[in-house]
A = this chain, B = another copy of it.
Amino acid sequence: MTDTLVTVFAALGDETRWSILTALGEGDASASALAGRLPVSRQAIAKHLAVLHEVGLVEPVRAGREVRYRVVGAELAAVARRLEVVGVAWDRRLAAIKEIAEGL
């Protein structure tokens, strides 16, 4: 269960990839276009896009000779939901311990 989750987090744990994601958040773009406004080479961006695509955070769309990428917000929301479940479970355990400690 958590194996895909970890890879998604690993994908999100990089500044450059967040730059790419937020840039795509303002509109679809190709690797070359992104290379124009980010301080890294096109190939570096292409690698990042491949990583993001593998975890489902981004989707390639062929448009003629260029490949535009679209950000997939639904995937982020899904991850968020799974995260919240885990976090709440941990806090519930803490709350339970607290009650026991207070002799309730």
- State the A residues within 8 Å of B (CB): 2-3, 5-7, 9-15, 18, 22, 25-27, 70-77, 79-81, 83-84, 86-94
Q: Is the interface of A mostly helix, strand, loop or mixed?
A: helix
**A80 CB, min distance to chain B CBs, angstroms:** 4
User: Are the CB atoms of A84 and B94 closer together than 8 Å?
Assistant: no
User: A13 to chain B: which residues have CB within 8 Å?
Assistant: 6-7, 9-13
A-B contact pairs, 10 of them (CB 8 A): A10-B10, A11-B13, A25-B89, A71-B90, A76-B86, A77-B83, A80-B83, A80-B84, A80-B87, A83-B83
A10 touches B18 (CB 8 A): no
Using CB atoms, name the residue of chain B closest to A72: B90
